A and B are shown apart, each in its own frame.
Chain A
């Protein structure tokens, strides 16, 4: 069990700052607001990789805090990136379909053993709750994005407005490759390991 303040504090803040600095060096519009990494990009498909690269960097930090600095982030990161990619597609292809693409803003917050994501846009919106579950036996060629999001994330909610807000969360349930969960010790760079 992680301590209640795991993932917070000066060291954790420094680790988040390093993630943001790395994103900025990669020409991404990232800022740190409290414990939340914020990334903005135009809501066009050409900028999809910006959002996904930022999410992958935060995923790596999130799982490192729980499982240790040498923990691979592949499984957790792949699932989050897959879900976010579908969410970004929906905004670029549907929410901003009939209007000039506005901003997509992604807020990522690392809690002790969960990653919280909020994706905002100012388009027409799309409500995932109205989507039917696909009939996978029929090999559908479309309508799979929301199914992927719901399948890979623990919670998906949507609030239409100005902005539209898609909220998703994913727990870091188990450490990959049999690595032990950490007890809460911090290194000088803010990472947690046993």
Chain B
């Protein structure tokens, strides 16, 4: 799993590639916590390079969404396809998180 962040024009973008699962979550979790602590009004999660997600990965993204909502921010997910998109639809997350 690779990830990067970019902050520009009032938007913080978190790009995650590869696999977001129970193995890789500990790597990206501090970055998620930082984005929340910085209270970005608009966070975009770019998952166009994500091949696989599991319930742990979903849980981390839902955590980010809920925390941002608490301070009035928004989180949108873009670029989902294949297995990650199927999991989002199964868990009905596409209605709240997809751009």
| Partner-B contacts on A (CB < 8 A) | 45-46, 48-49, 52, 74-75, 78-79, 81-82, 85-86, 89, 92-93, 136-137, 139-142, 144-145, 147-148, 151-152
Contact = CB atoms under 8 A, between A and B. Distances in A.
A142 B22 contact: no
Contact of B86 (A49, A78, A86, A145): A78
Given A46-B23, A89-B54, A145-B55, A81 B90 contact: no
Interface stretch (B8-16, B33-41, B42-50, B57-65): B57-65
Contacts of A74: 82
B5 interface: no
A79 B87 CA distance: 9
B55 A89 contact: yes
Contacts of A145: 54-55
A116 B53 CA distance: 23
11 contacts: A78-B86, A79-B86, A86-B55, A89-B55, A136-B91, A136-B92, A144-B59, A144-B91, A147-B91, A148-B54, A151-B90
5 closest cross-chain pairs (CB), A and B: A144-B55, A78-B83, A141-B59, A145-B55, A136-B92
Interface residues of B, number: 24
A130 B44 CA distance: 37
Contacts of B63: 141
B27 to A, nearest CB: 12
B59 to A, nearest CB: 4
Interface string B58-99: 111011011000000000000000110011001111001000
Contact of A45 (B22, B66, B92): B22
A139 B90 CA distance: 12
A89 B22 contact: yes
Contacts of B65: 139
B62 A141 contact: yes
A92 B65 CA distance: 27
B91 A85 contact: no
Contacts of A142: 55, 59
B56 interface: yes
Interface in B1-36: 19, 21-23
Contact of A148 (B52, B87, B93, B96): B87
Nearest to B96: A139
A140 B62 contact: yes
Nearest to A89: B22
A147 B54 CA distance: 12
A81 B52 CA distance: 9
Given A141-B63, A144-B58, A82 B87 contact: yes
A148 B88 CA distance: 11
